Amino acid sequence: MIVAGLVIGALAVAAPAAASTPTPTPTSDAPTGTVRVVAADPADTQAAASALVAGMSLREKAAAVVMGTIPTTDAGTLRQYMTTTGIGGFILMGSNVPATEGQLRALTAALTTDPALPPLIAIDEEGGDVTRLPWDTYPSSVTLKDQPAADSEEAFAGRGALVLRAGVGVNFGIIADVTADPSMFIFRRALGTTPDAGVARVQAAVTGESDDALSTLKHFPGHGSAPGDSHLGIPTTGMSKATWAATDALPFEAGIKAGAPVLMFGHLRFTSVDSAPASLSATWHKIARDELGFTGLAITDDLGMLEASGESALQDPVANAVTAVAAGNDMVLEIMFSNADTATRIVDGLVAAVGSGALPAQRLDEAATRVTRLRLELAAEGRGLMPCADCTPAG
């Protein structure tokens, strides 16, 4: 629920405000060089996000669309990383998860340099084979795929609350891929062994998480029909567009209709649709939006996986990021080869790409606005900002 009278914090906004858009209002507690924006209509986060992005520099926009990570549980180091890079998101990996929930909540608080415009803090908390939180004992797809859909709703309701309690606003946790083949890489992680089973369980999982962490559907357009491990290569299938639309597409469509706000694009080739991996394909982004009706935030799977594929054309992480945003991703994710300098290099590359025309400025504006809108919604709804009795303030 949107909090009435919310004061939204952001970077400096210079654009004049119309009567129906937020009005920039400096406040005494804002850090130097910032203003706080009071939304005329607190529910209109789209107008607020547009106003904020209009006032951002090109570099701030580029930073907003990057989600990075560094391997540490030191709160000071993490805070410095977010402050220095200015990036819009951080993904928690196993190397970022301390021993207790309280310690983790203190860590996520350190990542949030402005609570009124929190970063998108995300985690891969699927449960089962992909569990970052040792205290997550809720059932996972390993067993949920054989249980009634209601069990998926219950499990993800608990998991979403667990993630949110840790100060994490986004869960990359719902596998919408479909396969009945136990030899497939994604089999144990998939919620459905048939399209219909996937529809029921994915929809239930999104419904379960809806009051807590923001749900993410992955790996679009579907890993279940593309053999291989996308951490090691680019899984490829010749499945036709028509067959896909009648099978693998259905759980994604159901999750979108259920309200999942984030869609992760996989490094998967459906050669009958596009020779490029879906994560770098404008065609697949158009399909997601125009045919499946997705209006939320599109994010890549880890771009480092493209480098790990060994394909010579995919060895430049900056070029991959530029191509990904130009194709329609609103956020790029870098994990596998990420270090303290990676995010800055990607931001530099996006800025240069706008300057050269390789990345249309309008596309970057659109991406930055979608990211900013979701960040404002997190702030408005208090997701990830819940009190923690045993957390110490970061400082």
Evaluate whether residue 367 is within a structural domain.
Answer: yes
- Cβ distance 315 to 307 under 8 Å? yes
Helices (H), 56-100: 58-64, 75-85
Shared domain check, 97 and 11? no
Shared domain check, 62 and 48? no
Q: How many domains does the chain have?
A: 2
Distance CA 370, CA 206 (A): 20
pLDDT tens for each residue of 204-255 = 999 999 999 999 999 999 999 998 888 888 999 999 999 999 999 999 999 9
pLDDT of residue 383: 64
Shared domain check, 119 and 23? no
Shared domain check, 31 and 49? yes
Distance CA 12, CA 289 (A): 31
Check whether 371 has a pLDDT greater than 80: yes
For position 322, which CATH number holds?
Answer: 3.20.20.300
Domain of residue 330 covers: 56-376
Shared domain check, 62 and 169? yes
Residue type, 113: T
Shared domain check, 371 and 279? yes
Residue 303, SS3? coil
Residue 165 has a CB neighbour count (10 Å cut-off) of 17
Residue 149 φ/ψ, nearest 5 degrees:
-60, -30
Shared domain check, 183 and 50? no
Shared domain check, 32 and 70? no
Evaluate whether residue 386 is within a structural domain.
Answer: no
Shared domain check, 70 and 43? no
Mean of all residue pLDDT scores within the chain: 88
pTM of the full structure: 0.88
pLDDT of residue 227: 83
Residue type, 37: V
- Cβ distance 67 to 90 under 8 Å? yes
| Section 281-291 average pLDDT | 98
Evaluate whether residue 382 is within a structural domain.
Answer: no
pLDDT tens for each residue of 39-93 = 334 458 999 999 999 999 999 999 999 999 999 999 999 999 999 999 999 999 9
Higher pLDDT, 35 or 252: 252
Shared domain check, 245 and 357? yes
Shared domain check, 149 and 117? yes
pLDDT tens for each residue of 117-170 = 999 999 999 999 999 999 999 999 999 999 999 999 999 999 999 999 999 999
- Cβ distance 95 to 71 under 8 Å? yes
Evaluate whether residue 330 is within a structural domain.
Answer: yes
Evaluate whether residue 163 is within a structural domain.
Answer: yes
Shared domain check, 149 and 279? yes
pLDDT of residue 340: 86
